[in-house]
Amino acid sequence: MTDAAIIVAAGRGLRAGGERPKQWQELAGKRVADWTIRAILRAGLSPVVVVLHPDDMEIAGLPDQVIRVAGGATRDASVRAGLDALDEAQVQNVLIHDVARPCVPSGVIEAVREALKTAEAAAPGLPVTDALWRAEDGRVAGVQSREGLYRAQTPQGFRLGPLKAAHAAHPGGAADDVEVARAAGIPVTIVPGHEDNLKITLPEDFARAAAILGRAMDIRMGNGFDVHAFEDGDGCWLCGIKVPHDRALKGHSDADVGMHAVTDAIYGALAEGDIGRHFPPSDPQWKGCESHVFLRHAVELATQKGYTLSNIDCTLICERPKVGPHAAAMQARMAEIMGLAPERVSIKATTSEKLGFTGREEGIAAMASAVLIAK
Ligand code: MG
């Protein structure tokens, strides 16, 4: 038996402004609904039903594992459609969440699930702390006790079977599922909500939500540095391009010093050592290996660990060969290997003013940075 989730995303949310319903508006680089679905999937709820407006059923970009269900004309009807998609033989509890709450902390979801181990129903709430007024014509006409008052949040959790029965018996027009459950006599336990779990309602709520998501964003940065000496030859592999020169770079692999620095930057961001750890130079199978094998491995490792490569920046340090005429080709090749848009790949060069080993043209050095963002 599992804990399932229903994300109610069928509304048209006009108060939030914008040309599209609020759940499809952009928020910190994704759509509101994408953040909400991500939070629910990360909490380990399964299956996850997303109730969509009938016009949105084919909307692109939702994760494969979510079940799309067409909603009804009212919130109640949409929730009922979502409940009908769940199997009582497999699902014990169902958590119903507003799509407009993309910043729900994992702790709030966990508190609801924990309470459901003993309670018939549980929902997050925050005690009202501000004084409350009654108003008439813009003037305070009286005060209202805040004693025992809570602000209701979601996800609200219930046993699947009893909630289905409660919805079937309800006349409609409920503000939330707690109201439906209570009308059927189901007691609802309050668990602590969170101020971050705001409901996007007004245009200014987008900025608040973006700040909360930015604070929680997992960004990882790594750097890489590499040096290869010159030897006799007719050109150097630099960032995936064979650059004609009167010398070559010496190394166990193709000695692509720039690509090695970038690869090490990605491994560094993952705290996964360097190329030597994954492709030991003592192992003859990597002799003469083309360096894109290493770079692809680092990018795949990042993906496996749940990160997306955001951008890289690489600086080649040498007097010669001149890098400028080849920089655009290097950028395109590196972008292709990493599966990145070229504008996220920076390849530049500097001399060292004839100082040091690079200045004496004994070899080439490269340094690189990489930024990874958790998906
Ligand atoms: Mg190297």
pLDDT of residue 286: 87
Q: Give the residue from 170, 187, 215 where a domain finishes.
A: 215
Q: How far is the CA of 226 from the centre of ligand 1 (A)?
A: 5
80 and 164 assigned to the same domain: yes
88 and 125 assigned to the same domain: yes
Q: How far is the CA of 211 from the centre of ligand 1 (A)?
A: 40
Q: How far is the CA of 251 from the centre of ligand 1 (A)?
A: 7
Q: CA 88, 92, 98, 103 torsion: positive or negative?
A: negative
| Contact predicate 33/97, CB 8 Å | no
Q: How far is the CA of 310 from the centre of ligand 1 (A)?
A: 23
15 and 135 assigned to the same domain: yes
12 and 141 assigned to the same domain: yes
Q: How far is the CA of 373 from the centre of ligand 1 (A)?
A: 26
241 and 200 assigned to the same domain: no
| Contact predicate 350/328, CB 8 Å | no
233 and 196 assigned to the same domain: no
Looking at residue 324, what DSSP letter applies? G
Q: How far is the CA of 228 from the centre of ligand 1 (A)?
A: 6
Q: How far is the CA of 260 from the centre of ligand 1 (A)?
A: 5
32 and 126 assigned to the same domain: yes
277 and 332 assigned to the same domain: yes
Over residues 36-60, the pLDDT tens digits come to 999 999 899 999 999 999 999 999 9
Q: How far is the CA of 336 from the centre of ligand 1 (A)?
A: 20
CA distance to 12, 104, 112, 121, per residue, from 193 (Å): 25, 9, 9, 15
Which residues are registered as beta bridge partners of 228?
Answer: 364
248 and 205 assigned to the same domain: no
Q: How far is the CA of 246 from the centre of ligand 1 (A)?
A: 20
Q: How far is the CA of 356 from the centre of ligand 1 (A)?
A: 19
Q: Give the residue from 183, 215, 247 where a domain finishes.
A: 215
190 and 245 assigned to the same domain: no
Q: How far is the CA of 305 from the centre of ligand 1 (A)?
A: 24
Q: How far is the CA of 288 from the centre of ligand 1 (A)?
A: 12
Q: How far is the CA of 255 from the centre of ligand 1 (A)?
A: 6
Backbone φ and ψ for 283, nearest 5 degrees, come out as -90, 115
Nearest-angstrom CA–CA distance, 367 and 313: 8
Q: Name the percent of the chain in helix, strand, coil, to the closest 5.
A: 35, 30, 35
Taking the model in full, what pTM does it have? 0.66
Residue ranges of the chain whose pLDDT lies below 70: 13-14
Q: How far is the CA of 249 from the centre of ligand 1 (A)?
A: 10
Q: How far is the CA of 364 from the centre of ligand 1 (A)?
A: 10
Q: What is the CA radius of gyration of the chain?
A: 28
Nearest-angstrom CA–CA distance, 309 and 333: 16
Q: CA 116, 120, 123, 129 torsion: positive or negative?
A: negative
What's the CATH code of the domain at 164? 3.90.550.10
Q: Give the residue from 199, 215, 231 where a domain finishes.
A: 215
148 and 292 assigned to the same domain: no
Q: How far is the CA of 28 from the centre of ligand 1 (A)?
A: 37
Q: How far is the CA of 286 from the centre of ligand 1 (A)?
A: 12
Q: How far is the CA of 354 from the centre of ligand 1 (A)?
A: 22
CA distance to 23, 32, 79, 96, 370, per residue, from 9 (Å): 7, 10, 10, 11, 36
Over residues 206-236, the pLDDT tens digits come to 999 999 998 877 899 999 999 999 999 999 9
What residues make up the domain containing 361? Answer: 219-374
Closest residue by Cα to residue 344 from 369, 321, 312, 322: 312
Q: How far is the CA of 227 from the centre of ligand 1 (A)?
A: 6
51 and 198 assigned to the same domain: yes
pLDDT of residue 362: 97
What's the CATH code of the domain at 266? 3.30.1330.50
Number of domain units in the chain = 2
